[in-house]
Chain A
Amino acid sequence: MEKELNGKVAIVTGAGRLRGIGRASAVALAEMGADVVITGTGRDPDNYPEDEKSIGWKDIESTAEQIRNKGSKAKTIVMDISKEEDVDRMIQETIDEFGRIDILVNNAAPPYGEDRVPVIEVDNELFKKVLFVKVYGSYLCSKAAAKIMIDQGEGGRIINLSSSAGKEGSPRMAAYNAANFGLEGFSQSLAKELALDKITVNCVCPGQTETSRLDPLGRGALWDSKAEIIPMGRVGTDEEVADLIAFLASDRARFITGQAININGGSITSR
């Protein structure tokens, strides 16, 4: 049977972690037949989490292997998505290698960490960085990819990773809330603007997900107490989020645009 995304080319930013939505999305798209370009920041292997070290994980190169194991082509690019010249290079290399762009998953985000402090203690440069990567980075990538999609004239998919933090403010999350709410506003604007070009633009808003990004929370009492208050009684997996992203990338989802869809086990339902 012809796979649903055969002949399509996808870019997934921030796809180097073993336990991560970027990796899982890239693999899910490959499973449906798409060739996939994946980006990473060139993390220092010394800083990999233990589980990555123990299996000899090699960041985006390992994700590329998983993509190839699904029978799709993969290309890896080390870059900073908030740098214009890096984004231009990524787009150029994608076109050189695969000739087109159909799907963009804006997943890259700065690591979870020191921005989660009382607002009076937030480092100003860090605040800017969170917004810079999340909003400006998604803008740069979307702008460049949309230009190609419009020229191709066959529509496209832009899927932005927001968060529950894009739906509801929380203490000590000023930067992350601002960035994710901003990304959703950006997505609505883009959705309306690109709709007639058959380019859908949606956000996916995961709740607590089992990824290495959330390792700073530990996996003890704090983690469990957060999981227990989720109506489904558990946290999500990177594959579950990826599966929704892959659905949104499919032709079946062509009537869904401008939405910010929660995938959170029911923790937030009101928006």
Chain B
Amino acid sequence: MEKELKGKVAIVTGAGRLRGIGRAAAVALAKLGADVVVTGTGRKPENYPDDEKAVGWKDIESVAELIRAEGSRALPLVADVTNEEHVKNMIDQTIKEFGRIDILINNAAYARAEDRVPILDLDENVFQKVVDIKLTGTFLCTKGAVEHMIKQGDGGKIVNISSTAGKKGSANFLAYNAGNFGVVGMTQSLARELGPHNINVNAVCPGAVDTSRMDVVRDDWDKMAAATPIGRNGTDEEVGDFCAYLCTEAASWIHGQSINQNGGSVMEH
């Protein structure tokens, strides 16, 4: 049977972690047949978490291997999504290598930690960084990809990774709330603008998910799980599968939505 996304080309930003939504989404898309470009920031290997070191993980290069193991083509690229030149290069390389762009998963985000402090302690540069990667990054990547999607004339799929923090404000979450609410707003605006081009734009809003991004909150991990109605946190595969589902033809009438995937922890909006 022909795979559902055969012939499609996807870009997933922020896909270098072993335990991460970016990797899981990239592999899920490859499983459905898409060729996938994965980006990372070129993390220093000495800063990799222990489990990555133990298996000899090589960031986006390793994710590219996982994609190829599914029978798809892969292109790993180091890119800062807030840098116009880098994004232009990412788009150009994608076109050069694969000839088209059908799917964009805006997943890149600033590392969690120093932004989760009271407003009086929040460093301006950190605030800026969090919001910049989430919003300017999503803007630049989307702009670059949409230009090709419109030219191609075959529609497209954009999935933005927001968060429960894009639905509900929390103390000491100022920058992250701002960034993720912003992503939801951009998703709604872009959906109305790009609908006539058959480009679907949606956001996924995961709750606490077991990724290395969350390693800084392991002390509270069980408490977070217990506070979730289903009594556990999510997995990167669960979110990756949902992202991939939203990129299928069958999901074409789901548009402009920011969908919670959180075990019931947040039900608003």
Contacts and interface: CB of A to CB of B under 8 A. Distances in A.
Given A256-B260, A259-B260, A261-B257, A198 B230 contact: yes
B195 interface: yes
B127 interface: no
Interface stretch (A55-63, A111-119, A168-176, A232-240): A232-240
B241 A252 contact: yes
Interface string A173-207: 00000000000000010011001101010000001
A75 B196 CA distance: 42
Nearest to A242: B250
B45 to A, nearest CB: 31
Which of B251, B254, B260 is the most central at the interface, judged by chain A CB atoms within 10 Å of its CB?
Answer: B254
B254 A188 contact: no
Contacts of A258: 229, 260, 264, 267
B52 interface: no
Contacts of A241: 253
A244 interface: yes
A42 interface: no
Contacts of A260: 267
Given A196-B229, A257-B229, A269-B191, A263 B242 contact: no
Nearest to A196: B231
A68 interface: no
Contact of A192 (B200, B229, B253): B229
Query: How many B residues are at the interface, by size bracket?
Result: 35 or more
B196 A231 contact: yes
Nearest to A167: B269
B168 to A, nearest CB: 13
A241 B192 CA distance: 20
Given A195-B230, A255-B234, A233 B256 contact: no
A25 to B, nearest CB: 13
B263 A263 contact: no
A16 to B, nearest CB: 23
A195 to B, nearest CB: 4
B172 interface: no
A5 to B, nearest CB: 15
A231 B255 contact: yes
Contacts of A237: 253
A269 B264 contact: no
Contacts of B198: 232
Given A196-B230, A266-B192, A244 B254 contact: yes
B231 A195 contact: yes
Contact of A233 (B196, B254, B260): B196
Nearest to B267: A258
B242 A252 contact: yes
B238 A252 contact: yes
Main secondary structure on B side of the interface with A: mixed
A178 to B, nearest CB: 19
B82 interface: no
Query: How many A residues are at the interface, by size bracket?
Result: 35 or more
Given A196-B231, A270-B188, A240 B252 contact: yes
Contacts of A196: 229-231
Interface string B165-197: 000000000000000000000011001100110
A238 to B, nearest CB: 11
A163 interface: no
B139 interface: no
B245 interface: yes
A147 interface: no
Interface in A213-250: 230-233, 236-237, 239-241, 243-244, 247
Given A192-B264, A255-B235, A231 B229 contact: no
A271 B112 CA distance: 27
B230 A231 contact: no
B160 interface: no
A240 B257 contact: no
B260 to A, nearest CB: 5
A142 to B, nearest CB: 16
B261 interface: yes
A221 B74 CA distance: 48
A262 interface: yes
Contacts of A262: 254, 256-257
A264 interface: yes
Contacts of B245: 247, 252
A253 interface: yes
Interface in A91-140: none
The 10 closest A-B pairs by CB, nearest first: A231-B195, A195-B229, A266-B256, A269-B256, A266-B255, A258-B264, A243-B250, A236-B253, A195-B230, A240-B253
Given A259-B267, A264-B255, A266-B191, 7 more contacts: A200-B230, A207-B253, A232-B198, A254-B238, A257-B230, A258-B229, A261-B254
